[in-house]
Amino acid sequence: MKIALGVTGCIGAYKAALVLRHLQELGADVEVVMTRHATEFIQPLTFQALSGHPVITEMFAPTERSDIYHITLAQAIDLMLVAPATANSIAKFAHGIADDFLTTLYLSTPAPLLMAPAMNVEMWRHPATQENLAILRNRGVSFVDPSAGYLACGMEGEGRLADPLEIAKRAIEIVKQHPPKLDLVGEHVLVSAGPTREHLDPIRYISNRSSGKMGYAIAEAALARGAEVTLVSGPVSLTAPSKANLVKVTSAQDMYEAVLSHFEKATIVIKSAAVCDYRPKNQAEQKIKKTTAEMTIELEPTQDILKTLGERKTHQTLVGFAAETQNILGYAESKLVKKNIDFIVANDVSATDAGFDTENNRVIIIDRKGNQTALPLMSKRLVADRLLDLVILNKRLA
C-alpha cells in the first residue's frame, strides 16, 4: 500500500517521523510532502532517510522528473494522510485553496483523506476551525482528533497531536476499508523484462539500454490487482516484487526457453523485454586479445520470441512492445499484424524523457481492431495500470 504523508508547520511536526515509522512497520510505502513552514520545525532529510524517497517541499522546484508529479502521486496512492494538520491547512482543504504541493495533491487525488489536527486549544475550539472540520467531514474526510493535555504554548486542553501509533493504525484501517482493484484474481500474467546479453567472449557482449523498469512496473501492477505473476528478467539492477515468480535469464535463447516453458499456464503475456535481434555466430571460449588488425563479427538472428508466441497462443492475451526511433506507428502496426498479437505498445526510445532507462514513458497502445490509446508522459507504473485496464476490458468483451 502507498501512503502520502503530509506534514504541516507546527511543533507536532517532529512526531510525523514516528507516524512514518509506524506506517512502515504496518506495511506501508510512504512518500512525504512537507509545507514550507513544516521545514522550519524538522528537516526534509530526516524524512528522506526514513522513507527512502525524496521529500517534496516545493510545487515548482526544478527536479529530474518530467511528469506532473502531483498528478502522478495523486493517482498512485491508496491514502493521503496529513499529520500534523494545522488550522491553516484544514482551512485551505475545506475551501479548495491549492497554493502549494500538499493542497494541490488533495484536489488531485481520488484516494481517501485522513487528517490528524494539532494546534492551540483556542484555535481548535474556534468556530471557524469547527466549521472547516464540519465541511471536510461532510465530504467524507476522516480525522484522528487531537488529545488533551499540556500544549507547547503553555496552555492545557485539546490540541496535542494524537498518538503516532494510533494515527498509523487508523490510516491502515482506512486503506483496508478501500481495497485496491482485484480485477486480475485468477489470472496468470507472464511478463518479460530487461535486455539480453549476447556474448562475444567470456567478458564482452552485445546488449541494449533497457533497464527493465517498464516490465517490473507491469509485474508490480499485476500483483497489486491480484494476479499470479511470472517475471522473466534479463540482467537488470532492480529488485523484483517479492511475490513474483522471478526467472533470471541472460541471453535471447535463455529468455526464449524460459518464456516458452511458462507460456501454456499463462492467461496474459506481456513481452516488454528488449531482446537482442542478433547474436555473434561464434563465441570465443577465451578473451579475444586486442591487435592492430580490424575485426569482423559475424552475427546471426536470435529466436523471434513474440512471433513464436503469436503462432502458439490459444487462450492467452498477448501484448508486445515496439521500441522504435522512427515511423513509430507504422512499424508498430506492422508488428501487431505479422506477429498475431492482441496489443502492441509503441514508444519512441530516441526521446530523452521517456523510454529506455527512465522512470517515465509516453506510449501509444494499439489493439487488433486498430483502436489507439495515446498516453501522455507518465510514470511507468501508471502506464502499466492503463495497459492492464485495456487488457482486462478486452477480455471482458471477448
The catalytic site residues sit at 153
- Helix or strand or coil: residue 357? coil
- Helix or strand or coil: residue 92? helix
Distance of CA 65 to the CA centre of its chain: 14
d(CA 178, CA 305): 40
Q: What is the 3-state secondary structure (H, E, C) of 141-193?
A: CEECCCEEEECCCCCEEEEECCCHHHHHHHHHHHHHHCCCCCCCCCCEEEEEE
16-25 helix and 164-177 helix, angle to the nearest 10 degrees = 50
The pairing of beta strand 147-150 with beta strand 156-160: antiparallel
Q: Note if the bond before 84 is cis, omega within 30 degrees.
A: yes
380-397 helix and 213-224 helix, angle to the nearest 10 degrees = 50
DSSP letter at 240 equals P
Cell of 269: 503475456
d(CA 189, CA 212): 16
d(CA 164, CA 21): 9
d(CA 274, CA 305): 11
Cell of 286: 577465451
Cβ(234)–Cβ(212) below 8 Å? yes
Cβ(7)–Cβ(81) below 8 Å? no
d(CA 274, CA 393): 26
